[in-house]
Chains A and B, each alone.
Chain A
């Protein structure tokens, strides 16, 4: 029954281990004044593999006085987090971004005290409310109202405290008409709303939010966000996990980027979010190139055997054509440099390398940009642009240069093609590459013209 040395989670009022008094300097981030609300110090978290053999080992080490989570050999464990070091000041909004499985939720659970770190310490000053898996603890058979009491009790409220806040909780959830229904009849959105309402009414000092705004409907998402902003204004600390990068950027003072459990970057939201987007776009570009190489190899292998038969037939779902001319590579250049990530309005160049085994005098090059949902954004070709083909022989490079491509923020696919004037494809390559566009503009659609609003008559804005 001894407390382990490492992996302690300090609650408010508990002395910190090792007598760390002074605040450590922040590696790579904005310095903010004020006391520390969350300190994550050298934190790693290993999960045991739950393979059948490992279970017996767990039991054995548990009973024989082994170390359980500490000193696990790597074959038996998976590192969810490794070597995390950062502090969050009181009143700060701290965002956490990263791909699926990068350890964001594990980090939140460590800060919430639900999990313990395998190594290092997590210290939290003040009462924590974790908006994680909202409503997960609800009992389906009993009513919404009764669940508010139970949930409140689990989150540390006394019965009287819940009494006092009940009206406000019910109002916030917008479920006044359903409070006496058993929650098994609730929709998943209603679950989340009730869970959110209870959690934000526990009067926390530190609010942990894990992607919960994405679950409710639009109206509730706005309400929840407003509530979070109010709490921030009241000096509460926020740890915010989300895949909505725009939201993270606008809400947070600093952002941590987790990459497969490692702390890749901490700092100013704009910089970190941009770096993350760049990395995602590069990875996608790489995946596309690898896929292409794979297809190349498969084609080379199958090519000899069925060379004649395959000519003109579909080569794959994403690539087809007679192969009289072949697209060998596609790149995207932003301001002259290979990149798959750009800001709306940047100069973007789409470059294809083409190889014609025998000379052609009828050829058209085309590009087409679409969203992942298939919306065509823009497409054109050299024929439409009025260029008449004369000769294509051997290897050539063709570039489509857009001086300013004003796409809305989002993901896009590029199709490229070389075909005859009649439209018979030599090589059509669908989704040849993927790229990301970022924008500060918050509108909808795929195209953002430069624009402004002008007023005349009896209308005016708030001074800004």
Chain B
């Protein structure tokens, strides 16, 4: 697990170049280009607000008012996480040409997927901030200075996501089934993470525990507390985020390390 971290730091220049390439390539050839990074979250915001703000009214609406703002504080980071995992899991297969011709640390490729999606998330942060500011201006008691803790939570989630992606991507080289399993699992986990609803709004004890034990939940709570409610998360939540990050990184890099030698041949 340390080896992967070391390699990523040592090759940070290449990591930055490859991430830049990924971001440039994404919107190349589209008319709006980079604006899609801003338009996408806005459109998501509109869709979810329409569906869950007007069509279905979720339980505990009072706990999350205005609902649209509550929603995006959880949703934007989730989009980063889930697209990182879905894209990252294919990274070795997608870049098999690169793997077979050059020598560089293989952990770069999945990490590039995580980082390029992180950039898209960070580009959406100003929209998030503006939306929250508007909410405050309209008299809602949302956000506050604890929102400045956002970088800390992102910093804790980054190794968690990267670890997961490393492990999944390595496994996916041998078993293409992984991709479909992960895609469905991510959909399930989305609903088992308190993003569309506040955790407190869950009526059943067992279900509450299920959601609370989901490894993605501490981060979602972290984002909501700092950004939406404007409170500093308590120590327990910080510890939980750090622990999940540690376990995911250790497990993911272990799996990656075990399969490292087979990747070039099999991809």
Contacts and interface: CB of A to CB of B under 8 A. Distances in A.
The answer on A and B forming one complex is: yes
A132 B97 CA distance: 10
**B28, B29, B259 — most chain A CB neighbours (10 Å):** B28
B102 interface: yes
Contact of B103 (A62, A113, A136): A113
- Most chain A CB within 10 A, of B13, B175, B255, B261, is at B261
A115 B17 contact: no
Most chain A beta-carbon neighbours within 10 Å: one of B97, B101, B262, B265: B101
Contact of A1 (B3, B17, B259, B262): B3
17 contacts: A1-B2, A48-B265, A48-B266, A55-B174, A59-B171, A62-B259, A68-B262, A114-B101, A114-B102, A115-B265, A128-B103, A130-B102, A137-B101, A137-B102, A139-B21, A159-B17, A182-B29
A159 B98 contact: no
A164 to B, nearest CB: 16
A58 B173 CA distance: 12
Nearest to B2: A1
B28 A132 contact: no
A139 B17 contact: no
Given A58-B174, A137-B98, A114 B25 contact: no
Interface string B223-267: 000000000000000000000000000000001011101101110
A7 B189 CA distance: 42
A40 B104 CA distance: 21
B25 A142 contact: yes
Interface stretch (A20-28, A150-158, A369-377): A150-158
A146 B24 contact: yes
B18 interface: yes
Given A58-B174, A62-B259, A182-B29, A132 B265 contact: no
Nearest to A150: B21
Given A1-B257, A63-B255, A159-B17, 18 more contacts: A1-B1, A1-B3, A47-B265, A48-B262, A62-B258, A68-B261, A68-B262, A109-B100, A114-B264, A130-B102, A132-B100, A138-B97, A141-B25, A142-B25, A146-B21, A153-B17, A154-B14, A182-B29
Task: Kindly list the 10 A-B residue pairs having the minimum CB-CB distance in the complex, ordered from nearest.
Answer: A136-B97, A137-B98, A141-B25, A153-B17, A113-B103, A141-B28, A62-B258, A154-B102, A133-B101, A150-B21
A55 B259 CA distance: 12
B95 interface: yes
Interface string A102-138: 0000000100111110000000000010101110111
B36 to A, nearest CB: 14
A69 interface: yes
A387 B174 CA distance: 71
A44 B257 CA distance: 23
Contact of B100 (A133, A149, A159): A133
A383 to B, nearest CB: 59
A58 B262 contact: yes
Interface in B9-46: 13-14, 17-18, 21, 24-25, 28-29
Interface of B: 1-3, 13-14, 17-18, 21, 24-25, 28-29, 95, 97-104, 171, 174-175, 255, 257-259, 261-262, 264-266
A75 to B, nearest CB: 18
Nearest to A69: B261
A81 to B, nearest CB: 13
A435 to B, nearest CB: 37
Interface of A: 1, 47-48, 50, 55, 58-59, 62-63, 68-69, 109, 112-116, 128, 130, 132-134, 136-139, 141-142, 146, 149-150, 153-155, 158-159, 182
Nearest to B255: A63
Given A132-B101, A137-B95, A142 B262 contact: no
A53 B24 CA distance: 41
B101 A136 contact: yes
A58 B260 CA distance: 12
B265 A141 contact: no
Contacts of A48: 262, 265-266
Nearest to B100: A133
B181 to A, nearest CB: 14
Nearest to B14: A153
A96 B21 CA distance: 36
B248 to A, nearest CB: 17
Contact of B262 (A62, A109, A158, A182): A62
A138 B258 CA distance: 28
A134 B98 CA distance: 10
Given A50-B266, A142-B25, A137 B174 contact: no
A133 B100 CA distance: 8
A115 B264 contact: yes
A402 to B, nearest CB: 48
